[in-house]
Chain A
Amino acid sequence: MSKQDLAQGESIADWETFGRLFVGSSHPLFSQLNMNLIHISKTGVVVHATIGESFKVSPEGPEANVGALTIILDSIFGLALFAHIQEMNPIATINLKTEYVGSPSVGLELKCNASCFAIEGKIARMRGEVCDVKSGEVLATSTGAFMIGTAGPSFFSRKGT
């Protein structure tokens, strides 16, 4: 499967391959968070990630800006929604509410999970969290509302569609 093989509204036979493409190193932003797909299904997505040096709070210490966690969560919310509805419809984030519970560090291996817990009409509700892989400490939790079927092309759109 290549990025050019997917059209709006198309179902995907191989979600694992799609998921790896979605978070893969070819994406200009996701590559800076070293995102690696662990699991994808209709019930949810699990990704491991490590925050890169660009997100440091200061040159001296390892602490990372917590906004990097929202970048990760918003990203995997989108992936989890595609997997839940089993279609590549254009989606857009309406709102995110993120609680920053712990302090992430650059280079720390993170476990990030997301799932869709409700869809009403065109509005999908997502929730997820980011934890330290080794300690299990929760670093952030988030909920979000997404619109399904917005105008414009989906994530991987064929040229001209």
Chain B
Amino acid sequence: MPQNPAHNPIDNWLSLTSNEGTTRRVYEMTPDDKHIGNPAIRAIHGGVVTLFLERVAELEISKEESAPFSCVIVNTNVDFLRSAKLKPMFGAAVIVRRGRRLAVVNAKAWQDDPERLVGQATISLKID
């Protein structure tokens, strides 16, 4: 059963918050040891980066909706551009297309510099 994406306990697990910036919303994740993939380099697991980008996409959709709705992710295509270290990670999203039943969102993640992405994803969502 699809859920309202604005109320999701996974945000606690990701330690995820959001800020209304001047030109866009920026989401922030504070990683810790439970998010590590490779213990040798203490990098955030690629699946966790993906999960963060998916949440950014869902939350961006939910903030644009005026009426109650729910959504499910159909697919995610993610590129890993740099190793994500164990420090705050930021995300932002652009809704490429919001149709009656489907939405496509581009989401990006970075750490120290928004011009040096750690990952980017295109996420398709079915909206009810």
A71 lies within 8 A of B48 (CB): yes
The B interface, classified by DSSP as helix, strand, loop or mixed, is mixed
**How many interface residues does A have (CB within 8 Å)?**
38
Contact A96 B8 (CB under 8 A): no
- Interface contact B39-A27, CB-CB below 8 Å: yes
> Does residue B96 face the partner (Cβ distance < 8 Å to A)?
no
Task: Give which listed residue, A74, A99, A153, A156, contacts B47 with CB less than 8 A.
Answer: A74
- Residue A66 at the B interface, CB < 8 A? yes
How many angstroms between the C-alpha atoms of A75 and B75 in the bound complex? 18
> Is B40's beta carbon under 8 Å from chain A?
yes
Smallest beta-carbon distance B91→chain A, Å: 13
CA distance A29 to B47 in the complex (A): 10
Give the chain A neighbours of B10 by CB distance below 8 A.
54-57, 65, 67
Q: A63-B1, A68-B51, A154-B40 are in contact. Are A98 and B75 (CB under 8 A)?
A: yes
Say whether B36 contacts A93, CB under 8 Å. no
- Of all chain B residues, which has the CB nearest A33? B47
Q: B7 near A75 (CB under 8 angstroms)?
A: no
Q: What residues of chain A lie closer than 8 Å to B77, measured between beta carbons?
A: 95-97
How many residues of chain B are within 8 Å of chain A by beta carbon? 35
Chain B 28-55 interface 0/1 with A at a Cβ cutoff of 8 Å (1 = within): 0000011111111100011110110011
The interface-forming segment of B19-27, B78-86, B98-106, B107-115 is B78-86
Judged by a CB distance under 8 angstroms, whether B68 is at the interface is no
Whole-angstrom CA separation of A100 from B50 in the bound complex: 13
Q: Report whether B74 and A99 are in contact in the complex, using a CB–CB cutoff of 8 Å.
A: yes
A56 touches B41 (CB 8 A): no
Q: Would you call B127 an interface residue if the criterion is a C-beta within 8 Å of the partner chain's C-beta atoms?
A: no
The minimal Cβ–Cβ distance linking A88 to chain B, given in whole angstroms, is 11
Among all A-B residue pairs, the 10 with the closest Cβ atoms: A71-B47, A67-B51, A153-B40, A74-B47, A157-B40, A93-B46, A54-B13, A57-B3, A70-B47, A28-B33
Could you list some 9 contacts between A and B, CB below 8 A? Answer: A67-B73, A74-B47, A74-B50, A75-B45, A93-B80, A95-B78, A100-B75, A152-B41, A153-B40
